[in-house]
Amino acid sequence: MPLRPLLILTTVVLAGACSSPDEVREKTGVTAQAKSASAHATSVASSSGKGSARKEKEDNDLYSYEFSYPAEVGAYPELAARLSSDAAKAKAEMIADAKQDQADRKKNDFPFNPYSYGAEWKVVADLPQYLSLSNDFSTYTGGAHGMYGLEGFVWDKANKRGFKSAEFFVSPQALGDAIGKPLCDALNKERVKKGMDPVTTDGEDQIWPSCPDLDEATILVGSSNGKTFDRITVWYGPYVAGSYAEGAYELDFPMTAAMLGAVKPAYKAAFSAKR
C-alpha cells in the first residue's frame, strides 16, 4: 500500500479555508505538538490471546507521528511487519519534507508549522480465512489545513497475502451498478443530515456529482455472522461528494443477491447475502 501519494495529495488541497495548527491536529486526529524542542516518544505494546497490539506516538517541534494496530494484526507477523514498514517509510518521508520546509521558511523568515502523520488500523471483520481492516489516516504539511482519509485492506490468512478490499469485486463500477439507486439515495440522505441540499442531477453548474463512482470511494467489507462478508461500507472522503467542511460520507449496505454478482468468482465463497 503506497503511502507517499497521500502526502502529495495533502499538498495539493491545502489552499482551503484557514485553520490554526492546533485546530488541524484536532480535526485530523493528530495531537498538539510538544512544547519543548526535545522529542517525546512513546511506544506501547500490549498482548492478548490473539497477538500483540502496537501503539506509537511521537511529538516534537518538527513533527507529530502516531501509528497503531490491534492485537488481531499482531497475530500475523507478516501483516504486522508490512503495516509497520509502510508507516516507517511514510514517517521518514514526512521528516525529510518537514526538515526541507523548515529550512526554506527559516531562510525567508516565515513561520514553520510542524508536520504530522497518523495511521490507526482497526478491525472491520475477523473471519476464518480473512481479516478485514480499515486504516484511518491523517496528514498535515504546514498549510491551511490537513487531510484525512480511509483505506480498506484485507489479509488472506492462509496465503499470507494482503490486498485492497475493493479487489474482492469485479470492478468498482460493477459494484456500484449492483447497489444501484440505494447508493445515491443514501448519500443524499446523509447530505440532508449535514444541512446540505440533495444532489439529484449532474450538469455543468453542479459542483459535486450526484453519486460519485465507487472508484473514488473506499470500500470496506464487514460481517454480521463472523463467517462470511455480508455487508459493505462505502466511504467518500473530502472533496469527493462534498466540500472539506462537510466531512466524509460513510454509507452502509447489506449484501444483496445483485451485489454478490459483482464479487469475483474466486471469492464468492467468502460472501453471502444478509438475511
Q: Which of 135, 159, 183 is the last residue of a domain?
A: 159
pLDDT band at 48; cut points 50, 70, 90: low
Domain ranges, residue 246: 169-270
Residue 204 identity (one-letter amino acid): E
Q: Are residues 229 and 117 in the same domain?
A: no
Cell of 148: 484525512
Report which of 236, 218, 248 is spatially closest to residue 153, judged by C-alpha positions: 218
What pLDDT sits at residue 255?
97
pLDDT per residue over 100-146, tens digit each? 999 999 999 999 999 999 999 999 999 999 999 999 999 999 877 78
Q: Are residues 38 and 155 in the same domain?
A: yes
pLDDT at 5 over 60: no
Q: Are residues 72 and 14 in the same domain?
A: yes
Contact present, 132 and 229 (Cβ < 8 Å): yes
pLDDT per residue over 150-177, tens digit each? 999 999 999 999 999 999 999 999 999 9
pLDDT at 69 over 50: yes
Q: Which of 114, 141, 159 is the last residue of a domain?
A: 159
Identify the residue with better confidence: 8 or 192. Answer: 192
Q: Are residues 36 and 141 in the same domain?
A: yes
| Residue at 164 is within a domain | no
Report which of 234, 235, 231 is spatially closest to residue 270, judged by C-alpha positions: 231
CATH number for the domain including 26?
Answer: 3.30.565
Q: Are residues 128 and 194 in the same domain?
A: no
pLDDT per residue over 223-273, tens digit each? 999 999 999 999 999 888 888 888 898 999 999 999 999 999 999 999 999
Q: Are residues 125 and 22 in the same domain?
A: yes
